[in-house]
Amino acid sequence: MDGVHDMGGRQGFGRIRYTRDARAFHDDWEVRANSLYAFAVRRGIFNMDEYRHAIERMDPRHYIAASYYERSVTSLATLLVEKGVVTREELETRAQGQFPLAGPSAPGRSNVAQRSRFDIGDRVRVRVDYVPGHVRMPGYIRGKAGVVIGQSPPYPFPDAHAHALPAQDEPTYDVRFRSDELWPESSEVALVHAAVFESYLERA
Amino acid sequence: MRPRNMALMSDDDRALRPTATPGQRVDAIQAALDARGMAASEAVAQLSHLAQEEWVPRNGARVVARAWVDAEFRRRLLANGRDAVTELGIAMPPHHRHLVVLENTPGVQNVICCTLCSCTAFTVIGLPPDWYKDLEYRSRVVRESRTVLKEMGLDLAPDVEIRVWDTTADTRYMVLPERPAATAGWSEAELAGIVTRDSMIGVAKL
């Protein structure tokens, strides 16, 4: 989905709020939020792609305003309700207030039928796909050409895995793009790499 | 008066209630899972220990120091990061099937990010700080990397090539920073002591 979570290349954001060697956690609830979602994944209640997609389905106003661990809590609760483990009413009673959840999911998809294997050095182009459900293609590489410089072992295909659809595992390719081809005349010179699923790619 | 049964509340009634704090929401989830006999609190205690005491940058620092002193290890690390860190007793979660180690040189600075969420090789380099997960870093580092690094205190010479790595799948990345020239003769343990998480993300030099 072309959601607000797809941040790469968005303009208008200010300085990085950077401090050296900043802490990962600031409060006990953040540590427990992180642990509870990891617990749910380990128990097999949901997988990491479902978890990421439930974050992406948050209301954009909520997403933008929430801290990272508040997004974790929202995804965790949304999936626990959707999977029938708890009800929203119980959570709101226990929390003594409203418990905002993410919105509904659009359909997922399985692997692209006509896909190719690529080798290191191959020139590839990211397919111009618009996917309503979960997808791990950042919008800034859609339709762009790059060069394969690495290959991973096969992974579950996220567009299906986030929607409990059957699919074949497939490798991802580390694809090297030039920033001036991603954002012509509107970026600083760099090589930008993304890990791209085979189904998202065609030969350039 | 507060209704006894939330299930009977209308949407208008619900909208009048204040939103629970994130802490209250976490408490509610944990209690609801405990009430179902799922022993969430025990798991939270165990996982919180891992997150705070075991998944820490010290792990990655050991990897970097070993790579600096042992050329054969460095070769293996660059060829297959996951297998190499396992040699040092560092585990990665099952879904992180591949670790790519990115070697900095005088002419190349690598920097990692995750524009879609906030993925990292967290068992190796530690869980990420706020700034890594903030909208500013995620939006800007792919498009204006040199300015972003400069703002963060890393002012690179114009001829240094910047390579940005966006963690858009389950492959994980870590940066192998350059060894400072002033560390000749240091022990592996001393070297590990100077390696920071930020240098393994690629936003700082040592």
Q: What's the mean per-residue pLDDT of chain A?
A: 97
Instruction: Quick: pLDDT tens for A43-69.
Output: 999 999 999 999 999 999 999 999 999
Angle of helix A28-42 versus helix B40-49 axis, rounded to 10: 110
Residues of B that are catalytic: 114, 117-119
Write down the pLDDT at residue A42.
95
Average pLDDT over residues A29-49: 97
Q: What's the mean per-residue pLDDT of chain B?
A: 94
The type of residue at A116 is S
Listed range (A7-21, A186-200, B3-17, B32-46) with the worst mean pLDDT: B3-17
Average pLDDT over residues B185-198: 98
Tokens 């010290």 found at = B58
* pTM for the model: 0.95
Average pLDDT over residues B173-195: 98
Residues 75-134 of B with CB under 8 A from A: 95, 97-98, 100, 115-118, 126-131, 133-134
Write down the pLDDT at residue B1.
41
**What is chain A written as a DSSP string?**
---TT--TT----------TT--S-SSHHHHHHHHHHHHHHHTTSS-HHHHHHHHHTS-HHHHHHS-HHHHHHHHHHHHHHHTTSS-HHHHHHHHTSB-----PPPP-----SS-----TT-EEEE-----SS-----GGGTT-EEEEEEEPPPB--HHHHTTT-----B-EEEEEEEHHHHSTTSS-S-EEEEEEEGGGEEE-
Write down the pLDDT at residue B137.
98
In chain A, the percentage of residues whose pLDDT exceeds 90 is 99
Confidence of residue B95 (pLDDT cuts 50, 70, 90): confident
Is A29 in the B-facing interface, judged by CB distances under 8 Å?
A: yes
Write down the pLDDT at residue A200.
98
Q: How many CB pairs under 8 A join A and B?
A: 262
Interface touch A24/B126, C-beta < 8 Å: yes
Name the closest residue on chain B to residue A33, using Cα atoms.
Answer: B26
Distance from CA of A100 to the nearest CA of B (A): 8
Tokens of A42: 């380990």
* pLDDT of B5 higher than 60: no
Which residues, in sequence order, are CB contacts of A188 under 8 Å at separation 6+? A179, B143, B144, B145, B146, B147, B162
Phi, psi dihedrals of residue A98, rounded to the nearest 5°:
-65, 145
What is the Cα–Cα distance from B73 to B84, expressed in whole angstroms? 7
Residues 32-91 of A with CB under 8 A from B: 32-36, 38-39, 42-43, 48, 52, 55, 64, 67-70, 73, 76-77, 80, 85-87, 89-91
Residues 90-109 of A with CB under 8 A from B: 90-100
Confidence of residue B8 (pLDDT cuts 50, 70, 90): low
